[in-house]
Structure 1
Amino acid sequence: MPAYEYSALNAQGKTEKGVLEGDSSRQISQQLKSKRLVPLEITEISRKQNKNSTGMPFVKRGISIAQLSIMTRQLATMIRSGSPVEGALTAVLQQTNKARVKTVLMVVRSRVREGYSLASALDEFPHIFPHLYRATVASGEQAGKLDFVLSRMADHVEHSQALRSKIMLAMVYPLVLTFVAILVTVVLLTYVVPKVIQVFEDIDQALPGITLFLIALSDFLRNYGIYIALLIALSIFIFSLLLRSDLFKYKWHAFILKIPGVAHLVKGMNTAIFARTFSILAGSGVNALEAMKISAGVMGNLRMKKAVLDASERVREGAAISPALEKSQCFPPMTIYLIASGETSGNLVEMLEHAANSQEKEFETITSTIMGLFEPLLIVVMGAVVLFIVIAILLPIFQLNQLVGA
């Protein structure tokens, strides 16, 4: 039974959009009329239409990671209980109350009813189900372990969400604190200090050097601050445009891997993503060569991504995985050692999981330490700035009092 995308007017005169299943567009029209909706447009969702992120604007944005995880785990549970794929999709479809998820499941179920495999049906939504997800499902179907594969994929989605949250916390929190500190300092120098300094304008007295410096800094920010802000904004805009170039982005990512401290974090984060993805694919029956290529696709750093792709070519020529990866010098020695141990013992999947867990824990420890040190350090810096301003303002007052007392 094909699926149809529709738009219709409700009783309030507002346009509603959605997806329904039916034997023909006439049947869909009857369904809409039974719901007291006036059909405006009814279009069958064909494979050609959906080839590029579907033809449906209301599902182009995809679904959240949490919704994808819940949907995947529910599918795994239903299939493990003995339900066929179509029945599992129907059950999950009935349980969800998210319109976008319902639409996706309805289209996928429609494809399955037409005789397509689940992996092929998921190809309708590449923006929702990434290559890793679809390749893993395809391997699970071929091996008859779809429920196991879906459970592992749900775990992976949850792991990815947790790691993404840690990364965002590590980046956003310091940036927000820094922005607030800079904003407070600028307000003090451009608004508060000039009003206080006016007291000294009519005093025929040489001001201390620290006060003169504060006045000069305040005048500079008031006269040229807007130009500095525009220059910074323009630089960020130009940099973002340059990052659209694959060549510049690759060079930038390669440069990041040479920055002390930052390189360690970036390598650890990308290694964890690679190892986790590789372990899921290898454990699902995907061959090592294909698993390496897919795993490279989910890595954020282009330099490390190229290192994995180059290593996969060496593996294709007969090399072992660990020395092929070690040659790039982009991966931590512990990860290389664990992969080598897994290859030797025939337990590569478990060693890859150990490597991913190790890198994730190390990343979490380092970011937690940085976060713990950054806040008090910023407070000390802000305190020093305020102390400097206070001393610069009070010093002339003390000198004036001494002159009056004399």
Structure 2
Amino acid sequence: MPNYSYTVRDQSGAVISGAVEAESEDLLRRRLMEQGLQVIDIAQTKGARKKNPGGGFGRVGLADLSVFCRQFSTMIDAGVSLVRCLAVLSEQSTNPKMKRIINDIQAEVESGQTLSRAMQKYPNVFNNLFVGLIRAGEVGGVLEESLQRLSGFLEADMALRRKVRSAMTYPTIIFFFAVTIVVVLVTFVLPRFMGLFKDLGLKDDQFPITTR
């Protein structure tokens, strides 16, 4: 799907620019006009490449998503507009991949897409549960609550993963020390006792097999 840059004027007279994917220039123009926007200019972006949703620039971790949801919820609750929230989140993000995804979502929202629909383009980042809760928040007018709940889910998931890693680390350390002790006993300690056993009159065939 080709990319287009556009410039429009809203009902208050403010000029807005953005970029978005669309099937054609005519469909994009119609979509913008249906939103009550006056189209000033639309141009296809030259050299545009098909994007791999969520691909490139590393990965987006649970911590990135948790911070995204927490900050997003706070701004929505404070009455900041959706587009402005996304712009601020993009500026504050330190993850290049997350920053690019937020920019794409912002462009989609500016072109008339819902937030949940825009997030569906990135299933590797926003799973079905995530998108479903966002959609429920949009429909019910409680988007900030959905984002807050998602942040809580993500933080709980991170805490559980840390506990699992800790639970797996302790037995591994114990096993390592146990093997080390056995090796030391067989290699260094038992041979020293062989001389003592010989002094006591024991023959070689009476020693344990591991010490012969």
TM-score, normalised on structure 1?
0.38
By how many angstroms is 1:218 displaced? 5.1
Counterpart-to-counterpart distance in 1, 2:199 and 2:98: 73
**SS of corresponding position for 2:183:** helix
CA contact (8 A) 1:3 1:106 kept: no
Aligned equivalent of 2:12:
none
Q: 1:87 aligns with which of 69, 81, 84?
A: 84
Counterpart-to-counterpart distance in 2, 1:185 and 1:164: 32
By how many angstroms is 1:206 displaced? 1.0
Counterpart-to-counterpart distance in 2, 1:104 and 1:197: 68
Aligned equivalent of 1:206:
202
Q: Which has the higher helix share?
A: 1
CA contact (8 A) 1:63 1:128 kept: yes
Q: How does 1:44-59 map to 2 (within 5 A)?
A: 44-45=50-51, 49-50=52-53, 54=54, 56-59=55-58
Counterpart-to-counterpart distance in 1, 2:20 and 2:182: 59
For 2:149, give the aligned amino acid: R
By how many angstroms is 1:170 displaced? 1.9
Instruction: After superposition, give the CA deviation of every residue in 1:126-164 in whole Å (9 maximum; x if it has no partner).
Output: 222222111111111111110111111111211121122
By how many angstroms is 1:75 displaced? 0.6
Aligned equivalent of 2:104:
107
Aligned equivalent of 1:242:
none
CA contact (8 A) 1:76 1:151 kept: yes
CA contact (8 A) 2:57 2:97 kept: yes
Q: Which has the higher strand share?
A: 2
For 1:144, give the aligned amino acid: G
Aligned equivalent of 2:122:
125
Counterpart-to-counterpart distance in 1, 2:96 and 2:43: 22
Aligned residues: 175
Q: How does 1:33-182 map to 2 (within 5 A)?
A: 43-45=49-51, 49-50=52-53, 54=54, 56-59=55-58, 62-182=59-179
Is residue 188 of structure 2 the alignment partner of residue 192 of structure 1? yes
Counterpart-to-counterpart distance in 2, 1:180 and 1:67: 37
**SS of corresponding position for 1:2:** strand
Counterpart-to-counterpart distance in 2, 1:180 and 1:86: 56
By how many angstroms is 1:208 displaced? 10
Instruction: After superposition, give the CA deviation of every residue in 1:41-80 in whole Å (9 maximum; x if it has no partner).
Output: 85243xxx53xxx4x2335xx3222221111111111111
Is residue 1 of structure 2 the alignment partner of residue 2 of structure 1? no
By how many angstroms is 1:81 displaced? 1.4
Counterpart-to-counterpart distance in 1, 2:196 and 2:44: 86
Identity of aligned residues (%): 23
**SS of corresponding position for 2:57:** helix
Q: How does 1:3-402 map to 2 (within 5 A)?
A: 24-26=44-46, 43-45=49-51, 49-50=52-53, 54=54, 56-59=55-58, 62-189=59-186, 191-193=187-189, 195-196=191-192, 199=195, 205-206=201-202, 212-213=207-208, 216-217=209-210
Shift in alpha-carbon separation, 1:202–1:217, aligned structure 2, 3 A? closer
For 2:19, give the aligned amino acid: P
By how many angstroms is 1:91 displaced? 0.9
**SS of corresponding position for 2:49:** strand
